[in-house]
Structure 1
Amino acid sequence: MESMFAEMPLALFTTFSSIGAGSFVALAAVAFAAKLDDTGAAKLDRLSIIPFLVACVGFACAFFHLATPLNAFGVFSGVGSSPLSNEIVAGVVFMVAAAVYVALALAGKLSGGLRRVLLVVCAVLAVVFSLFMGAAYMMFTIPSWNTWATPAQMLGFALLGGAMLVGVLVAASDVRDAVLASGAKRALLALGGAGALLAVAALAVFLTSANALPSVWADTSALVPSVLPYAVAAAVLLVLGAMLLAGVLAKKPAVLLSGAGVASVAVGILVARLAFYAVQISAGI
């Protein structure tokens, strides 16, 4: 259980980075479904600075995991052979694309065609990045993590977290009525619901698989049940977050409702990540 809180910097990295990355998937869904005029689209563009900054916070948290931050540059030497290197490269590529989009958005330089192309690129890179965040933990030396459920969790977190953050931003913006009167509302609800379902299901599969490991790895009969309360709490918070997203998009949200929605999703993801790190059953045990 000590490993759970020892990995707090990485837990925060994967929490904030997944929400920030997933927001660009949600922004793309809104932009394509809402069919806003140039003025409305420009207002939506400017909202992208918030999820970009959230992703930046995630990357900043990752540096606290390093004893020597300058060693971070050495991770690029393992591209193609190291899952960790692949994750960082995927993250950097996504952040560069997102930075270009945000810079052009704030400068008011995005046209209809360029906006759509950049949003599609950012959305695809966000999905790739979220999957690589999970794949970085798939290693034979830690059989409890070496399952498809690991990257599936991260994709679920990204979809739900992104839908919630963008939903709150849109609901509080000048383009709220135009967006929510279109198919964009259904798109955000679909992303949030799919994300919550995928995250909770993958978390359940992950714990079930870990609990079924042979006792030669570790005393799984005691380890997995010990983190079960955290996993249940995370699942409840994630489902609650999806329900609060529906409330945020149903009417003009109060600050309390919006804050509760974002907090429920963010804390749910963080608790799920801590539960994940606690189930670190390695071949060396």
Structure 2
Amino acid sequence: MHELPLVFFTVLGQSAVGIFLLAFISYQLKLSDGEQLKRANLLAFVLMAIGLAIGILHLGQIFRAPNMLAGLGRSPMSNEIVLCGAFFTLVCGTIFFSYLKKHSGFARVCNVAAILVGLVFVWSIIQVYQLKTVASWDSLHTSLQMWLTVLVGGGACAVLAGVRKTGAIALSIGVVISLIAKPDYIDFVSHTDPMLSSQQTLFWAVQTFCLAVGLLMAVVALVKREGSSALLALCAGAVVIGELSARIAFYNLWAIPM
């Protein structure tokens, strides 16, 4: 629980990347219109801004921020921070040219660039935590969880923003893979660190329940053309809470053998 700022930063950041990606794909496939694309991108901007604001709390002192860039190129954490800044800058550019100084060409360039940089940003987060020195993190499950948040969190929020079909499909795929992989993941961490893993049961149970809510949300979004905005917001919120809960469990498993 002591890494809560990073929990919000990683989950909301990965979800924002997912929204940008899925909304653009949906628009290109003509499954949603320009207004839905803009609305989805605006929601991604809000999530990323919140994630950044909370993530800064992890520094303790804002003046320490420049120190995190000292290892650019060789330090996964420095690379993550730079890519995060680049992604958020392009997100801001997309919003600026979509809403404030409307220019569809510039907005499109920023949108595409934000997606590409965002995917590299998610990859860079994985490099920070795929560590051989932390036994419970030294697994492909670490990578899988991070990428699944892009589909699950991004998909749920995309549905909320009106990108229903593409968001629902991504959400369904993410939920199914997550549920299938969960028993093997729990078995892995249980053998790696039985004491710590036994303390995460509640967090995993919350995530499993929220994934079920997400799957129901995806089915409803695919079957019904219209849906209650309040209900969709509630379901999307539950899905994000589930990802936050699983990420708390992930950070709680941090331990370095002596």
Query: Separation in 1 of the partners of 2:214 and 2:256?
Result: 33
Describe the superposition over 1:95-136 as per-residue Cα deviations: whole angstroms up to 9, x where unpaired. 12222111111132114xx65554333222222222222321
Q: Specify whether residues 241 and 221 from structure 1 end up closer, same or farther in structure 2 by C-alpha distance, changes over 3 A only.
A: same
Larger CA deviation: 62-71 vs 43-52: 43-52
In structure 2, distance between residues paired with 1:239 and 1:130 = 25
Q: Note the residue ranges of structure 1 that are not aligned, 5 or more in a row.
A: 172-179, 214-219
Indicate how the Cα distance of structure 1 residues 46 and 232 shifts in structure 2: closer, same or farther if over 3 A, else same: closer
Relative to structure 1, the CA distance from residue 43 to residue 12 in structure 2 (aligned partners, 3 Å threshold; closer, same or farther) is: closer
Deviation at 1:238, TM superposition (A): 2.1
The answer for the alignment partner of 2:119 in structure 1 is: 127
1:235 aligns with 2:214: no
1:100/1:115 CA distance change after superposition, 3 Å: closer
- How do residues 96-115 of structure 1 correspond to structure 2 at under 5 angstroms? 96-106=89-99, 107-111=101-105
| Deviating more after overlay: 76-85 vs 233-242 | 233-242
Is the aligned partner of 1:139 residue 2:131?
A: yes
Which residue matches 1:255? 229
Whole-Å separation in 2 of the counterparts to 1:273 and 1:230: 9
Distance 1:206 1:55 in 2: 28
Shift in alpha-carbon separation, 1:195–1:24, aligned structure 2, 3 A: same
The corresponding residue for 1:26 is 22
Conserved 8 A contact 1:157-1:196: no
**In 2, Cα distance between the equivalents of 1:195 and 1:267?**
15
2:152 match = 160
Q: C-alpha displacement at 1:200, in angstroms?
A: 4.1
Change (3 A) 1:166 1:124: same
The alpha carbon displacement at 1:62 in A equals 0.8
Superposed CA offset, 1:177-223 (max 9, x none) = xxx6xxxx2x322211222234445554443322233xxxxxx2222
- 1:60 aligns with 53
In structure 2, do the counterparts of structure 1 residues 128 and 193 end up closer, same or farther at CA, with 3 Å as the change threshold?
Answer: farther
User: What is the match of residue 192 of structure 1?
Assistant: 171
Pairwise CA RMSD of aligned residues? 2.3
Q: Which amino acid aligns with 1:70?
A: F
TM-score w.r.t. structure 2 length? 0.89
Q: TM-score, normalised by structure 1?
A: 0.81
Q: How many residues of Structure 1 are paired with residues of Structure 2 in the alignment?
A: 256
2:248 aligns to what? 274
Percentage identity across aligned positions?
Answer: 22
Q: Any idea what the Cα deviations from partners look like across 1:21-76, whole Å, max 9, x if unmatched? A: 2110111111111166xxx4256325422211210110111111122121112111
CA distance, structure 1, for counterparts of residue 49 and residue 178 of structure 2: 23
* Distance in 2, Cα, partners of 1:43 & 1:260: 19
